[in-house]
Structure 1
Amino acid sequence: MQRRPGRGHRRLPHTADVRIEAWAPTRQECVAEAVAALVDTFVDPAGARPGARREFHAPAGDGDADLLVGVLDEVIFRMETAGELPLHTAVADDGAGGLRVRWRTADTDAVELVGAVPKAVSLHGLRFGPDGGGWSCAVTLDV
């Protein structure tokens, strides 16, 4: 079995929807990788230039999985309502169990569509937590 890099993401085979997996040394970096994985499932951001700076606060909820879903749902919401996608994501703890997310975004018109656009994050099969010295997650996206 090939060893995976310390930080990354991939798309997993799934029958009807899209399934992604992300991993990183910290909880915050894993959330940032999950955002990149979500975007990579349906657009090719190559050549797009980062524009606006955006921030989002995901308050502490019922657990880490809720935080991850909240951040990914916000990406989908901003895509649908503001026509923007994150090209770069930075995530930090807010000091109270939540997350502070900062994005550099691009207009959806500036990226090439290469797959089905996600409509929501499914809670079925959701996984997010510590994993062998780092953090990992697996998420199904409804398309």
Structure 2
Amino acid sequence: MVGDTDDDIAVRRRGTSGHRACGHTADVRIEAWGADRESCLLEAVRGLVECFADVSGARSAGVTRVRLPDEGDEELLAALLDEVVYRLEVRGEVPLDVAARAVDGELEVRFTMAALDGVEITGAAPKAVAWHELRIRPDAYGWSCAVTVDV
């Protein structure tokens, strides 16, 4: 849904997941939603990746698992997106797919990764997650979040 305008966004329904991104001069604003917190977080990752890469033709280079402490919803959203930025900058990896579940006070995340040189780059790479106006919370349809990412 990247590039959609408010006029052509489909009506959100309970139990659905999705995301969209709105570009600014030096950053990107990602909005995501899902039936539960975990699906909302995963959509935020997908939205982040779509802002700079087309992974549709990429091949998996392996699976990576990480555990993030659940120290609050906003902290978890920032930590998850920071993990994607870290893997991109330091390891040259991009998530093809992501799955997550809450386990013992942590978020267990499973990334299927591709090598950066194996994906089509379509935009500026993310550099940092901004805390300004970062939000994630339950709403009438499930969960929603919004975050600004510096590019």
Do they superpose with TM above 0.5? yes
* 1:114 lines up with 2:122 in the alignment: yes
Tell whether 2:150 aligns with 1:142: yes
1:127 paired with 2:135, answer: yes
Once residues 95 and 150 of structure 2 are traced to their aligned partners in structure 1, the CA distance between those partners, rounded to angstroms, is 19
Q: 1:67-123 CA deviation, whole Å, 9 max, x = no partner?
A: 010010011001111110111100100122x21100100000011111111100000
Cα contact 2:18–2:34 (8 A) shared by 1: yes
2:101 corresponds to: 92
| Number of residue pairs matched by the alignment | 141
- Contact 2:12–2:141 (Cα < 8 Å) also in 1: no
Distance 1:133 1:92 in 2: 20
Partner Cα distance (1:124, 1:116) in 2: 20
How far does residue 15 in structure 1 lie from its aligned partner after superposition? 4.0
User: Match of 1:102?
Assistant: 110
What residue is the counterpart of 1:55 in the other structure? 65
Q: CA deviation at 1:8?
A: 0.5
Are the aligned partners of 1:86 and 1:105 in contact in 2 as well (CA < 8 Å)?
Answer: yes
TM-score, scaled relative to structure 2: 0.88
Please point out which of 81, 86, 100 is paired with 2:90.
81
Deviation at 1:51, TM superposition (A): 2.6
Alignment correspondent of 1:70: 79
1:136 Cα offset (Å): 0.7
SS in 2 for 1:69: helix
**How far apart, CA to CA, are the structure 2 residues paired with 1:77 and 1:9?**
21
CA distance in 2, matches of 1:88, 1:106: 9
Kept in 2: contact 1:50–1:88 (CA 8 A) = no
The letter for the 1-side match of 2:73 is D
- Residue 51 of structure 2 is matched in structure 1 by 41
TM-score by length of 1: 0.93
Which structure 1 residue ranges, 4+ long, deviate > 4 Å from structure 2? none
Which residue does the alignment assign to 2:22?
Answer: 12
Aligned equivalents of 1:15, 1:78: Cα separation in 2: 24
Distance in 2, Cα, partners of 1:79 & 1:31:
18
Tell me how large the CA RMSD over aligned residues is: 1.3
